[in-house]
Structure 1
Amino acid sequence: MDTTMNDKPFFSEAELLDLGARAFAGLGLPAEDAVDVARILVQADLFGLSTHGLSRIESYGERLRVGGIKAQARITVQSPAPALRLVDGDNGVGPLVGMHALRAAMQAARECGVGVALARQSNHFGPVSPYGMIAAQHGFASIIGSNATTTIAPWGGTDERLGNSPLGFGVPNPDGLPFLLDMAMSVVARAKIRNALKRGESIPDNWATDRDGRSTTDPALALEGFLLPIGGHKGYGLALMVDMLAGLLSNAAYLTHVKSWVDAPDEPQNLGHFFILIDTARLGSPSWLAERMNDFAAILHASPAADADRPVIVPGEIELANMARQQRDGIAVDPAIVTLLQRYAAQLGQ
């Protein structure tokens, strides 16, 4: 660990993985499970997604302490068909359930060319992109999603009925950067609306509605209302499809059946996830895929930028650049999060 001039700690990837794993082990997880959780959250930090990285020790840790999440989860996997896996997370920590489901889908895809894992009895599993990255490193293209606590009103509705569910896509590149798209279903996060309120600024009318379901440019009214989905009614339909795959078909909770971890931290959420993988080795050689992936990116990069300071990029390039920089220079972590991680880690063996 090192510090900057403002005393913000920097860690190497290995140091942060070790601290994260020890912290979750201190919260009661078996050592191997704690490593799985830390792997996903540290990868999120490497990508620059700090709100979904080890900072999640705050909410995950509190729910583990009050029994809302089971530390000693017994995750099971069923195989009702050659390419299909059903994962019961036993109310375990979300990234742990996610890693079990990812491995199950990879196994099915190796055997059948395609693999689908549907998980239930889970919790918040972090961002999608770390799973997409791991899948790509093993040669799999992926479509991955999860449902979430309700924060969005149905199109034309006036109360929260569906979650801001994440959806991601990944395609490996054996000789370059993988394609990684990770997005939620709302136009913006609530944090952007809160920031606009603090600055005394208005917001675009496609970000949110007031509590009566009417579009608003007033951030105060927006914070009392609901987030709007991307693409209007089309985004609404896409959000529903994510919940159908992640929640309804997996036999997890869906829509308003999903409990809020904020309102009921001591109760299981029963979130669901889906992992759809394609083994790209069945489609062609690594050199074939690399040539096509690099050409695909080159076509996009060659488009003249409307703003010279913002060249055209392919999804995932920002996150992968963050990862390269932080693997070289270290990962900055909020001091309060470091303190919490160290406190939980100190409980190990007590």
Structure 2
Amino acid sequence: MTNITPTTTTNETTLQDLASQALRGLGLAHDDAADAARILVLAELFGVTTHGVSRIESYGERLEIGGITPRPNIEINQVAPSISLVDGDNGVGPLVGYRALEAAMKSAREFGVGVAFARGSNHFGPVAPYNYIAAEQGFASLICSNATTTITPWGGKEAKLGNSPLGFGIPNPDGDPIILDMAMSVVARAKIRNAAKAGSTIPATWATDNQGQPTTDPKAALEGFLLPVGGHKGYGLALVVDLFAGVLSGAAYLSHVKSWVDAPGEPQNLGHFFLVIDTTRLGQKSWLAERMNDFADILHSTPATNPDAPVLLPGEIEMRNLARQRKTGIAIDNGLLAKIREYAGRGAPVGDKAAG
């Protein structure tokens, strides 16, 4: 008999308010909590539940022991007309990421292109919500972050690289944006954990054992390393992400990044990179809409190998999830909901106000 996890269905506004209140209960200022919650709620709407409001619980654990600063003094230094350096002061990742995105978009509105390098941050959720927010305002974007090490350099047998997310977003003034949000590994470690629980094998292309040898044993894989997508090419891509997000930002990089599991009370000093382009500088909205729709039509018209699985665009499933859940509501695990309500019930700290 299959166990069904009890859930409660709520709407976007209610979940946004509750998530914001929970983050305020954990010490964040009003506006900071609202902006960080927006990233997590969008992830939930996209169907990326592993990186949605459930992250409030893991962020909360670190906030409570001082591993994350609840009220950071985030500094934005515009070092060139279109380049900003953002010091997150060890704030919650989605907040630091949101502030960096704002800085990049501000520059792009004035100069056509905006770049922001963020340091002193933590896990900032999935990339797609940032790409989506940028696309809503007419910006194409390339956004990435480094991460705790889980991937070994190609040919090695010790984790030195993070499973760093990378996202691209291109707006469509007459429809949904095209958004590609990908991590560097073939699969998430959660899939390997699920296989281990089920007692099943995994493809040898997913991970290696602790000696760097491909394995079909999920237990050996959990003690080993994730394999990058595309083999040595994925290794190179993960490396470049860390160069932009870690090295150039002034953040930690490679094995200098602290593990939030092994050292939850210490700052991770993660880095993020944001590049946004004002597409209105390239042509009228009607021009871009026509080209984006034609682009999508060409791909959608491709004959499918399986008639029940037509060709889709990157991000199309997430956009469908977004539209559906905005209409029918979002199902949240009751246990998670209780935890978020517990945080929210603590109330805002005395003197709570918007961060400057």
Both proteins in one fold, TM over 0.5: yes
Residue in structure 2 matched with residue 60 of structure 1 by the alignment: 59
Which residue of the partner structure matches residue 229 of structure 1?
228
Are 1:198 and 2:197 counterparts? Answer: yes
Separation in structure 1 between the aligned mates of residue 123 and residue 320 of structure 2, nearest angstrom: 26
Q: Which residue of 1 aligns with 2:122?
A: 123
The 2-side partners of 1:260 and 1:197 are apart by: 23
SS in 2 for 1:54: coil
CA distance in 2 between counterparts of 1:125 and 1:282 reads 29
- Measured after TM superposition, the shift of residue 58 of structure 1 is 1.4
AA matched with 1:182: D
Task: Structure 1 unaligned segments of length 5 or more: list them.
Answer: none
Structure 1 equivalent of residue 183 of structure 2: 184
Specify every segment of 5 or more residues in structure 2 that has no aligned partner in the other structure, as ranges. Answer: 350-356
TM-score by length of 2: 0.96
Alignment of 1:290-309 (within 5 A): 290-309=289-308
* One-letter amino acid of the structure 2 residue matched with residue 218 of structure 1: D
**Structure 1 residues 130-145: aligned runs within 5 Å:** 130-145=129-144
Q: How does 1:283-294 map to 2 (within 5 A)?
A: 283-294=282-293
The CA distance in 2 between the partners of 1:100 and 1:27, in whole Å, is: 19
CA distance in 2, matches of 1:276, 1:206: 32
Shift, 1:111, TM fit: 1.0
Deviations 1:59-118 (A, max 9, x none): 100100000000010101011111101000000000000010000000111111111000
Aligned mates of 1:12, 1:48 — CA distance in 2 = 14
Alignment of 1:173 with 2:172, yes or no, is yes
Which residue of structure 1 lines up, in the alignment, with residue 266 of structure 2?
A: 267
Show CA shifts across 1:7-37 (max 9, x none).
5111110000000000000111100100011
Contact persistence 1:57–1:337 (CA under 8 A): no
Shift of 1:198: 2.6
1:253 is the counterpart of 2:252: yes
| In 1: Cα distance, 2:133 partner to 2:261 partner | 30
2:6 and 2:333 in contact (8 A); partners too? no
Give the secondary structure class of the aligned counterpart of 1:327: helix
Report deviation, 1:201: 2.3
Amino acid across the alignment from 1:320: M
Secondary structure in structure 2 of the residue aligned to 1:274? strand
Partner residue, 2:243: 244
8 Å Cα contact 2:51/2:125 also seen in 1: yes
Cα deviation per residue 1:201-230 (whole Å; 9 max; x = unaligned)?
221111100100011112121111100000
Q: Matched residue pairs, number?
A: 346
Percent identity of equivalent pairs: 65
Mapped to 2, the partners of 1:242 and 1:332 lie a distance apart of 34
Superposed CA deviations along residues 175-218 of structure 1, whole A, max 9, x for unmatched, are 01100000000000111112222333221111100100011112
Amino acid at match of 1:35: A
On the 8 A contact 1:208/1:215 being kept in 2, the answer is yes
Deviation of the 1:349 alpha carbon: 4.2
